[in-house]
Amino acid sequence: MNAIETKKLTKRYKDLTAVDGLDLAINEGELFALLGVNGAGKTTTIKMLSCLTKPTSGDAYLNGNSILTDTANVKKCIGVSPQETAVAPNLTVKENLELMCGIHGFSKEKKERKTAELSEQFDLGQILNKRAAKLSGGWQRRLSIAMALIGEPNILFLDEPTLGLDVLARHDLWEIIRILKDKITIILTTHYMEEAENLSDRIGIMKDGHLLALGTAEELKATAKTEKFEDAFVAIINEGSEVVI
Amino acid sequence: MRLLAFSGRTAKEILRDPLSLGFGLGFPLVLIFLLSAIQANIPVSLFEIQSLTPGITVFGLSFMTLFSATLIAKDRESALLQRLYTTPLTARDFIFGYTLPILPIAAAQSVVCYIAGIALGLPVTVTIVYAVLFIIPVSLFFIALGLLCGSLLGVKQVGGICGALLTNLTAWLSGVWFDLDLVGGIFKKIANVLPFVHAVELERAVLGGNYVAIFPHLYWVLGYAIAAIALAVYFFLRQMRRQ
């Protein structure tokens, strides 16, 4: 079954078409990476899929729920970790997790269980009582992803999760994303080619609101006749014509 | 439950910010003691404790606008709001969650100001309780103004407009620091069509037990509070849709 299916999904802002007739199907449990240069339409696509922005035309279905007519049900099945570190700075790590539990309407028992579960999964135990503002960038991103998982989503959106992190923090976060893989569907946007290549089942490359290429990293390299994935990406972007595999 | 969780977070964010506590509570207290000291040496009727305490209490509320606007602007810039818009929280939860927790903080600030007034010789009467109650509509105006500014402005702009401009406007146009009759003319006319002087006169009338004198000041305050709430809700929902 498809976790996400978009049908001619389009977003226009006055004279600019940010996303143009996007047709895409993402399988359940898949880790799908969306790549593209700045302004390609990746974040707008995620914003539409997470009900933050209404499409100008077209529709998308998340677990069968329309983003136009079933937003309440869509919101129940998604978790979002935005590009910026979206945490409450003066709350401790534990309070940030509890805040999300409260927002999802969990009982006291479930709140305690869920907080303990995610603290263990993300190794947050040592910093549970530390204020979020005092954490390093890497720990804030960990917390951000943990917060996105509180609502037990089937679909997780990670918008440039490792942006600005050092190599070690990035690799730590990759390990966490690998652990989540297969359990839930993950949509990842990134500027790091090796991140997309190492983590994703399939990759979509966008340019000027269009999906130019779609396939596994190996398939995209073979199509672009390059050895490195980064070269394949550059070739596809420069070629500009659609290569859907 | 959801509203409670979000409201609790709003209160914690504000109360844990040392600048908020310093300015919100400390600054009005310093002013009460300082102006009372001036009054002790050079008697000015405006700075008599019965007149000064309600004025400083209203002035202190301008910091509620700053707290509220700063929190919302920060949440917008850090994308925390963007994250929360993808959760089951509704527009009503956001608006109440940002405004309701600041009401008890505003009331607590007023209580502290009146306690300071009592320490400086303000007679203890039941009218102090009424004065604290009448602070609620005034607080609603200032808090709604914060929601409005936080929905429209960035963190830096909030600092300038709410932190500097609004606090100064509240001070100058409220008749707390100087008698508006002394300036007169266009300045007094402008002050009289704004809510600040009416909020101070309302508090002074209630504290003095002169209930007839609360009108028309109460109408002015309520009118501005309703207008500020309506505009705040409109612009908050607009920025929410624009996400």
| pLDDT tens digits along B188-217 | 999 999 999 999 999 999 999 999 999 999
Which chain B residues are closer than 8 Å to A99 by Cβ?
A: 5-6, 8-9
Contact yes or no for A104 and B77 at CB 8 A: no
Q: What is the DSSP string of B88-100?
A: S--HHHHHHHHHT
Q: Phi/psi at B33 (nearest 5 deg)?
A: -70, -40
Contact between residue A147 and residue A119 where contact means Cβ atoms under 8 Å apart: no
- Return the pLDDT at A160: 86
Token pair, residue B173, equals 């146009």
Distance, CA of B139 to CA of A35 (rounded, Å): 48
Contact yes or no for B5 and A101 at CB 8 A: yes
Which chain A residues are closer than 8 Å to B82 by Cβ?
A: 52, 80, 82, 84, 86
Contact yes or no for A75 and B79 at CB 8 A: no
Segments in chain B below pLDDT 70 = 243
Measured between CA atoms, the residue of chain A closest to residue B81 is A86
Q: For residue A12, what are the CA distances in angstroms to A19, A53, A187, A207, B243?
A: 7, 11, 22, 15, 14
- Return the pLDDT at B167: 86
Please name the residue ranges forming H helices in B100-194.
102-119, 127-133, 135-152, 155-158, 167-172, 180-183, 185-193
Contact yes or no for B1 and A102 at CB 8 A: yes
Which chain A residues are closer than 8 Å to B8 by Cβ?
A: 99, 102
- Return the pLDDT at B243: 64
Distance, CA of A80 to CA of A99 (rounded, Å): 15
Q: What is the pTM of this model?
A: 0.86
The radius of gyration computed from the CA coordinates of chain A, to the nearest angstrom, equals: 18
Residue from B6, B13, B83 whose CB has the most chain A CBs within 10 Å, to mutate: B83
Q: Which helix (H) or strand (E) holds A213?
A: strand A210-215
Mean pLDDT, consecutive 10-residue stretches, chain A (245 aa), reads: 92 91 93 91 92 93 94 91 87 96 93 92 91 90 90 91 81 86 89 90 92 92 90 86 52
Contact yes or no for A100 and B74 at CB 8 A: no
- Return the pLDDT at A240: 65
Contact yes or no for B13 and A147 at CB 8 A: no
Q: For residue A8, what are the CA distances in angstroms to A42, B126, B156, B204, B228?
A: 15, 68, 40, 64, 41
Is any Cβ of chain B less than 8 angstroms from the Cβ of A75?
Answer: yes
Residue position matching structure tokens 């240069």: A37
- Return the pLDDT at A123: 87
Distance, CA of A60 to CA of A68 (rounded, Å): 8
Contact between residue A83 and residue A43 where contact means Cβ atoms under 8 Å apart: yes
Which chain A residues are closer than 8 Å to B4 by Cβ?
A: 102
Contact yes or no for B79 and A86 at CB 8 A: yes
Contact yes or no for B88 and A80 at CB 8 A: no
- Return the pLDDT at A242: 54
Is any Cβ of chain B less than 8 angstroms from the Cβ of A109?
Answer: no
